[in-house]
Amino acid sequence: MLPRFAIILMLCLLAGCNRPETPEEDNPQVDPMFQGTIGSVCELVGYQAVRVQGYSLVLGLPGTGSGECPATIKNHLEQTLLKLKDQGYLPNAYIDLDAEKIIAHNSTAVVMVSGLVPAGALKGDQFDVEVVALEGTQTTSLHGGRLMRTEMQIVVPGTGGRPIASRPTALAYGHIFINPFAVQSGQTTKADPRRGLVLGGGRAIYDSRIRLSLLRPDYRTAQLIQNRINSRFRATEDPLIAEASRSMITLRPPAAYRNKYKHFISLVWGLYLQGTPGFLERKCQELNQRAQLPDADLDDIALAWEAIGRPALPVLESHFRNPSGPPMLAYYAARTALNLDDRQAIDVLAEMALDDEHPAQLLAARCLLDVPFDVRARWALHKLLEKKNYRLRLLGYEGLKRGRDVSISSTAMPEGFTLDLVPSDLEPIVAVWATIDPRIVIFGRELVCRENIFYASPDDTITMNGRPADVQISVTRKLPGDRGYDSFKSPRAVQDLIAALVRPIRRDHKAVGPGLSFSQVAGLLYDLCQEKQIPAHFMLHRLPEDLTGQAALDREM
């Protein structure tokens, strides 16, 4: 996210504010503390999300698709299928069928695919895409389907999907996730089975152009900005980070910021043009004085310190080493120091993360996720698993997952998600990670369904029952397409039940039905936890920000 002073500046520029005559002149729309920064003489160009769209097929449906397809879209899909077959991207079930028969099959459905490529996205960056069955077709559900490899183009807003350029901008493919939770703002709603998401299924094909435009074109100023950015951020293995023309500077995020390029842009925006040691030392002290005011915007100040770089470390250390200083200032100082690769800050952030009285506890714990291989951070992440606060436990798990800690057991499931087991002696948690890396996470030891269990899904496709004397649970699944029912036994352990539910149904060594999808399993686990059939707290994790309570989309169930 760009800092507030940068956003205000850009809004003012768009509204027609007066531009400064030279880089040295003050811009009245900029806080005096940030005069002389790159953000005071430039504006970002083209830094915005772009909508991409395409038409495609969902494959592998259990008889819930349809062969209806408009002629213009059908021609496009036939060409796509021929190309995918040549490239080896079609599933084996469709290899022997021609394109027309694949489209006409009731295991496929014609869909519109759309998504937003994030602002500043780099090649390979992932994003969610929406998949919707075409209106007027007989497709009844996309449950259990998989979006085939699809090229997506930038479209003109308000034109119904007219593409801007001939070449594709993004690819999309993957398992369909259909919202299984029928609770919205306290009202019962029904999810549309013809509409779903592919979590992280979109991938940018090219690096986005990130450019700064000089408010007053001047080659000398452009060169100054280029040199200042390159001297601040360039590492030995990186090419030029900034390249300037008379009016424009093109940016390439360095390798260290490959997964946090938005933060890189914010740092560039707050970078002072003057980089002499005396000037930077003076700015550090001015920011230090500002930081200690009651109404100080510590987020902006921390960003300015980080933009200055390692010369700011003595000031930062004076704050995060001061036990009697303001706790939030200590947090921002420690976080900034860690971003500048000062590993001394890890001890301080770990102490904050484990302190239930510290106002930045969750934020400090989030910082530890950036250094999961550090032995001190790993120790604190293990301690977080022992906390009663659910978010702290999830943060501890996420950090240990990133650090590939041996305490976490991971199993890849057939339907494109991972089942993780986290040892814990506290109240069990079942967490559904509905993100670009879909997961189901079980916190506990030998979490089992209750002894006397009975469950029937709202759509009557799944029933489960077991008495206290039964070693295993009886499960009955309704097969798609009115093909009857399938019954089987499952162990009572929740992880074993999940594994049994996602296995494809086979008879006489032939597949007769798919296993449950990730979204179907998630909905079933939610129901079982709500009804206390599984004695665990259920959580849905949708965005990274949810873990620190910064997003309203966080849902605890």
Name the percent of the chain lying above pLDDT 70. 86
pLDDT at site 289: 94
Q: Is the model's pLDDT at 519 over the cut of 60?
A: yes
Hey, what's the torsion of the CAs at 277, 335, 401, 183, to 10 degrees?
Answer: -130
39's tokens: 């953000």
pLDDT at site 1: 43
Residue 352 and residue 346 in contact, taking contact as beta carbons nearer than 8 Å: no
Angle at the Cα of 207 from the Cα atoms of 205 and 210, rounded to 5 degrees: 150
pLDDT at site 478: 82
Query: Of 22-26, 67-71, 178-182, where does the model show the most confidence?
Result: 67-71
Please name the residues in contact with 438: beta carbons below 8 A apart, sequence gap of 6 or more: 175, 177, 199, 200, 416, 417, 418, 518
> Strand order of the sheet with strand 462-466?
453-456, 462-466, 472-478, 485-491
165's tokens: 């350029």
**Using CA atoms, how far apart are residues 454 and 151, in angstroms rounded to an integer?**
45
Residue 117 exposure: Cα atoms within 13 Å on the Cβ side: 28
pLDDT at site 34: 77
Q: Is the model's pLDDT at 187 over the cut of 70?
A: no
Amino acid, single-letter form, for residue 489: K
287's tokens: 């920011």
**Backbone torsions φ then ψ of 287, nearest 5 degrees:** -65, -35
How large is the C-alpha radius of gyration of the chain?
Answer: 27
What are the CA-CA distances from residue 513 to residues 18, 506, 522 (Å)?
66, 7, 19
Q: Is the model's pLDDT at 551 over the cut of 90?
A: no
**Using CA atoms, how far apart are residues 89 and 344, in angstroms rounded to an integer?**
49
For residue range 254-269, what is the model confidence (pLDDT) as tens digits?
A: 888 888 888 999 999 9
CA neighbor of 395 nearest in space, from 519, 534, 386: 386
The mean per-residue pLDDT over the stretch 327-344 comes to: 96
Of 259-273, 304-318, 328-342, which gets the smallest average pLDDT? 259-273
**Using CA atoms, how far apart are residues 302 and 304, in angstroms rounded to an integer?**
5
Of the pLDDT bands very low, low, confident and very high (cuts 50, 70, 90), residue 8 is very low
**Using CA atoms, how far apart are residues 360 and 348, in angstroms rounded to an integer?**
12
Of 201-205, 446-450, 460-464, 488-492, which gets the smallest average pLDDT? 460-464
**Using CA atoms, how far apart are residues 126 and 458, in angstroms rounded to an integer?**
33
- 3-class secondary structure, 199: strand
For residue range 381-395, what is the model confidence (pLDDT) as tens digits?
A: 999 999 999 999 999
Q: What is the pTM of this model?
A: 0.85
Of the pLDDT bands very low, low, confident and very high (cuts 50, 70, 90), residue 31 is confident
154's tokens: 């930038």
For residue range 349-398, what is the model confidence (pLDDT) as tens digits?
A: 999 999 999 999 999 999 999 999 999 999 999 999 999 999 999 999 99
Residue 137 and residue 58 in contact, taking contact as beta carbons nearer than 8 Å: no
pLDDT at site 200: 93
Q: Is the model's pLDDT at 191 over the cut of 80?
A: no
The mean per-residue pLDDT over the stretch 529-535 comes to: 94
DSSP 59: E
With tokens 């549309």, the residue in question is: 192
pLDDT at site 554: 36
**Backbone torsions φ then ψ of 306, nearest 5 degrees:** -65, -35
Please name the residues in contact with 456: beta carbons below 8 A apart, sequence gap of 6 or more: 462, 463, 464
Beta bridge partners of 117: 50
Stated as kind and residue range, the H or E segment containing 386 is none
pLDDT at site 546: 66
Of the pLDDT bands very low, low, confident and very high (cuts 50, 70, 90), residue 29 is low
Of the pLDDT bands very low, low, confident and very high (cuts 50, 70, 90), residue 182 is low
Residue 445 and residue 422 in contact, taking contact as beta carbons nearer than 8 Å: no
The mean per-residue pLDDT over the stretch 40-46 comes to: 89
CA neighbor of 312 nearest in space, from 290, 291, 285: 285
For residue range 229-238, what is the model confidence (pLDDT) as tens digits?
A: 999 987 766 6
For the chain, the domains span 4-46+209-269, 50-204, 277-410, 453-556
pLDDT at site 15: 36
Angle at the Cα of 407 from the Cα atoms of 403 and 412, rounded to 5 degrees: 80
Of the pLDDT bands very low, low, confident and very high (cuts 50, 70, 90), residue 55 is very high
CB atoms inside a 10 Å sphere around CB 227: 14
Q: Which CATH number fits domain 277-410: 1.25.10.10, 3.10.310.10, 2.60.40.10, 3.40.30.10?
A: 1.25.10.10
First vs last C-alpha separation in the chain: 29
Residue 57 and residue 132 in contact, taking contact as beta carbons nearer than 8 Å: no
